Structure 1
Amino acid sequence: MRLLSYFLLLMTPPSARDHPYLPLSVSLIIGGLLTAITTLMVGNWELKSAQHQFEEQADHLSQHLQSHLDQYTQVTNALGIFYKASDNVTREDFHTFARPWLKKYPEILGITWVKRVPAAERSVYEQAMKAEGLTQFKIHGENWQPIGQKSEYFPITYGEPPHIYQSYLGFDVGERDFLRPFLDKARDSGEIVATHTLPLLTGKNGFALFNPIYRPGTSLTTTRERQREFMGVVTTVYQLKNLLEKTLKDIPHYQLSFYLLDTSAKANNRLLLTFDGKTRTLSTPDQTQASYVVPLICKRLVDCERSLKVADHQWTLMIIPDVNLARLLLSSGIILLLGFSLTGLLVMYLWQTLAEKAHIEKLVTERTAELRQAKDELEIRVQERTAELQAANESKNELLSQIGHEFRTPLTIILGFIDLLDRDRTLNPQQQENLAIMRRSGEYLLSLFAEILEISRLETHKNALNLTSVNLHSLVNSVMEIVGIKAQGKNLPVVAYIAPELPQYIKIDENKVRQILINLLDNAIKFTDEGLISLRIISEDPEMISQSSPQITFEVQDTGSGISPEIQAKVFEPFVRGSTGKGAGLGLSIAQKLVQLMEGEITLVSPVQDQKGTLIRFHLPLMVPESTDVPQLEPIQQIIGLAPNQPAYRLLVMENQAENGQLLTQLLTSLGFQVQAASSPEQVIEICYDWRPHLIIIDTQISCKDGYQFLQPIKRELIHPHPTIIIGLTTYDGDFRTRSALASVCDETLRQPFDTERLLQKIGSYLGISYEYEICQSLPLDQESIELTLQPSSLEVMPLEWINAVYQAASEGNSQELYQLIEKIPPHNQSLLVAMTELVNHFNFRQIRKLSLLNGK
């Protein structure tokens, strides 16, 4: 209140401040206005709150009711599906299927099968029912009255539960005039139809859902066809009051009353049920209660109506809000009274405030000056402290550099003499073990200090990037040589894989990437006692390589004991070590900082599988160097077209993906082939008989109902003037049946992604085609020795099966398989063995594929 008084005084014009009653008048006017505005705002807020609460409760009520009504509709739909899926439903089948639904939903009054019986089949139908044991069965009307001749009848054939429908079997539902329109509507529409509220066979009021059933395997596209094939309806019958009583048991006690209306019924029969939210009772209106009262609040303030859908029918839920207007007025009255009271108190305090105003102004001036002086002093202290910290940091870095120089010189000498002493064969085992301990300790101190210096450089941002064009395979090979010695000491295999889609040359900081990989692999070897260490270099999405911002992913995985969750939270912090206490705890910290320096991201997953092992993955931007930065390549032959003076070869392409089909078509057309494309088996057959292609290339992913049997007539009949060759393009993971089906119709199958040169070689082999070639780039200049030693003709000394196996292993990047195949080269072909081994060591799988392709068939 005092703050408000100060505000009023400050807002008073200087020329009027000498008037003793002006602040009092201002306070009374402002206080009255604020009180009125606040009262209106509170009243409006209370009303909006009550409105929002009502709408939430009303929506929940209507959604709850709709959900239950949908469940009952699903029961009717399930019965229809049961009939449509069965060739002949017997009485026992109907009993078996319907009984669980009645048990699950006891509010369902009954489930019946109402069969359509044409007049000509009435006698046969009645005899069939009598043969089932219903000796007194006949189609009848109300109270077993006989029915005269009609064009068709709709007797109740099956009914559940039996104690209700046993006496109504044979009753012609069509005899009730008010049901016939719903029967006709269900028959003509083919959809579930809900009736109006009507008197049931049991004498109670309710409604029914009709689900039409048609003869299976017939066309139902038109109304006439549905009328002709109509067999009858599956009916579920509900007593409305029982249904809602069951539904309302599960809903919160909102104390909302409502009317349930059938707006499509006649005006005097629209009110279905009323519900009193306070007593929680449902009432069925009598014949005289045809109207209902809509509260005034529903007409002006809130939307009280909600729609409920029952099959094709729509009901209206008129919900009566439980709004206490007296409570709303009371809240506003309290606010009004409180506002005037505060205004009076404000006037009382106003005179006292005038006396204190001058004193407060003085205090504010003094405190402001003090705060300004304190702020200036604090800024000076911060600047001084920052300068001190920078100086200390520079001193620390300078000291570390000096210590590093002084530290490395004697330690290097010590390690050198240890190596010299270790060469003395006169040392006994104890002395040799002592030397080994001394060497490990010295190497540990050296690596520890190197990592400390690296951390210091990274923290002071003095570690700049040096991006160069790097041979990815050579980089991996050098890293494997470094860590391989330590891994051999523990008998741990270390394997590497480079995705074939990655370029051979990338632009990175080679030293930093090598340091990261060595640190990660060193950690993996250190904490793994058995199993396997793997290095994988992949692209998360091969299609992104050609995009503007691709990434290359490096993964190092081991089968060690893993890292506990507690350590994982801080594993990238300096000097954090695992439970084994091995290492200095700097390797991962340095790796993270180097990755971040290269604008990458590093993550850790542990355990990986079988509750053990660790996977460390880091992503770096993938930059492909310009062609001028990459070493020039030496030439080999590449197909550029068909040789002259040859027949016009016709090829048919059937591809699942339009883009792949377009690519194959353009490729083959550019080489001189005549090419047509097809997208379906029908088009293939039509083109084959009209155009007579020499060869068909088919994508095995195309789905057709008879598998690949549509190709059998082509293979069997189109043999003159030449047989039609079929080449299938399949995937690695096709199942056995697919492979067997392909083998029965295809002359050759190639795995996707296929090599273009290999596909062309296969086409040329089957059709006897001669190609024209041009010189293309293949081998890097730094492998001149391999080029001189290894030519395509060098592989001719090996069997065809061996060459094909080499091509397949190179396509999959399987270096282990390639090493095993190289061991099969005879000893007198030493130059071939050495050259192939060198290509595998440098992960040059592309060159291996090209060389084996030129010799494979």
Structure 2
Amino acid sequence: MGSFRIILLTYSLLVAIGIGDTYGQDKAVNTVNDSLQHFMSESKKFRAAFKIRKSLDYAIRTIDLAHQLNNDNYKYRGHYMMASNYQVVHDFKNMEFHGNEALKYARKTKDTIAIVYSLNVLGGVYSDGYEDLAKSIKYFNESLAIAEKLKDQSKKMAPILNIGWAYVDQKKYDLAFPYLNQAQNIIENHPGEVSIIAINDIKYLFGKYYAHKNNYEKANKLFDEVIQLAEEKEIYSILSNTYKAKSDTFEEMGHKDSAFYTVKKHLYYRDHLLDEEKLRQIETAKVNYSLNEFKREIENSKKEEEYLAKIERGNLIIIISSISLVLLVGSVFFFYLGYRSKQKLNVTLQQKNKELVEAKLEAEKLTNVKSQFISTVSHELRTPLYGVVGITTLLLEDNDILAKHKKLLNSLKFSGDYLLDLINKVLKISKIESNKEELAKTPTNLALLSQNLLHSFEYQAKNKNNKLVLDIQKELPEVVNIDSLKLSEILINLIGNSSKFTENGTIWLRVKVKSIEKDTTIIRYEVEDSGVGIPDDKKEFVFEKFSQVGREVNKSEGTGLGLSIVKNLLDIMGSQIHLDSKEGRGTKFYFDLELEVIDENDNNQLDIDNTNTAQSYRRILVAEDNKINQIVTKNLLNLIGYDCIIVENGFNALQMVKKEDFDLILMDLNMPYLNGIEATKRIREFDQETPIIALTASELSEVKGECLAIGMNDIINKPLNKNDLRNIITKNLQY
């Protein structure tokens, strides 16, 4: 469910249920009209105070009296208030009913503004309640089209803001942004005609937008402004939403304590808004309204019976009245039984909801513990692996090594790489399950990316006597906007899977263009092999974690995590993986991606090759406390053409930078005396220019935000390999 939208029935409510006061009425019924206005005022007052039971009672009285007087204006306003109250407790079925009733009577009165706000109610039902974005936008756009014909531009505020809010709820922030700007323009051009609550809501939505864009400072500043006003006015829905958004922002920044504090505030205000008493009261009010509706039907029926009685004389009147009375008593008894049943069911549901909330909190706690455990263990495993893989790589670079030793070293490196791949895949699954994976799109040359990925499997293909074939359609755009890292992970897992189950065969990587327009294209990736294929009874399991389909046939090694990672990453990218395979005749995996096409003439960010890499003499400072890691890093730097000086902790690194000039610093994060974070902070006090790259065995997503925030330029995972180290140094020395 999307965020609870207070704008729909607070800002718009001020106008929607206040209109129509000037409709002409006969002076003889002024007293009755005063009663209608009194009922409506009381309902608004209690609704604003979140006293739902009392607000509903007065709204029902308004509707009852409006029916007696046949006053369509107050019928509309009463049903609008009913919808407002049902929205508070998320009873969207009843909200929809009363929203439609409000729209019906608004159209009868031909009041344009009433129609605008009734359509907003129904848009809110489908946005917040049924999560049907297309239908909600349809209602909001219809409301906006009518409002744009009015002279008062401020009347456009509710539909514009609701469209923006609907897109924010669905995390379509770029679609929401133009509507938020329109709403902001209305505030600037009509400052006296827009409510304080509407202004607060816009700040909240802009905060969500900037949080999504990783501008956390601006987002938190807006959230704090929203909270200050909402606490003064005791607007619990806004407080609940804003504290939840602020908690999510702190979580992204890695500020665990602040995230925990703000989520507690969110839960406090949410519980305040939706406590058990309010839910019990709403059930009571539903029954009261149903009984009044039934009594009105009986009254209409009695009028018809009285007319017939004049024709069929007194005996018929007695018979019909008796039947009517019996029906009324029976109906009341029926509603009473229904009410008792609903009460019992409501108590049961509340208990189940409480158990579900407790189970959810426990599950989230266990997930966090698991993620923390995996992250810690991975760090401890990666550190010694850095030495194993690094030293093995350096020895293999030695041309004088004996052939028999080279064979053993290749086996050792394979085992180290395999273990590292296992650690990385378990981390990836844990990260996806913790919902910490996010898209980071960059301009990318798909042809070059695909070519490089396939080339990386040449050694493995040669060992199995496989042929690698790259097939790219010439219509493929040169540059698209995509998360190239996630695409690479997907293709590496798929090509690796094909390589594992194929010998003396062919592996194809195809990139097809399904459709292309000016700014978007739909690309299909296919990875096909001529390997052993997948039996029909195994196909539904291949995307499950730790599945080992076919292992008993060809004894292939693997974790059984690769295809599960592919499926989850494609879910994040808005796509899904498809499988076409026959046992003994090969396998084909394919998926489609809708991508933004980048005009290469306007793109200055894409560096397709490294032809500009400077090979001039460079001096690098390495801060690393582990002796083996020092040896590996020094030799890797020498291999790629750089000289280095090594220090054992952050304090020594700080002293060296004060005394000598370096072109770049490689800074380990976990060191004695002074760690990499603190050392970087002190260096940045007097040196803002020298690039600093963090070295870490931790999961990058857990430390990257903090590293960049304190002034580091980049971050790389241990264990290092020669190519990654060369690329990241070259990248940071180009500036």
TM-score bracket relative to the smaller structure: 0.3 to 0.5
- Structure whose residues are more often strand by fraction: 1
- Structure whose residues are more often helix by fraction: 2
Q: Could you say which structure has the larger radius of gyration?
A: 1
TM (normalized to structure 1)?
Answer: 0.30
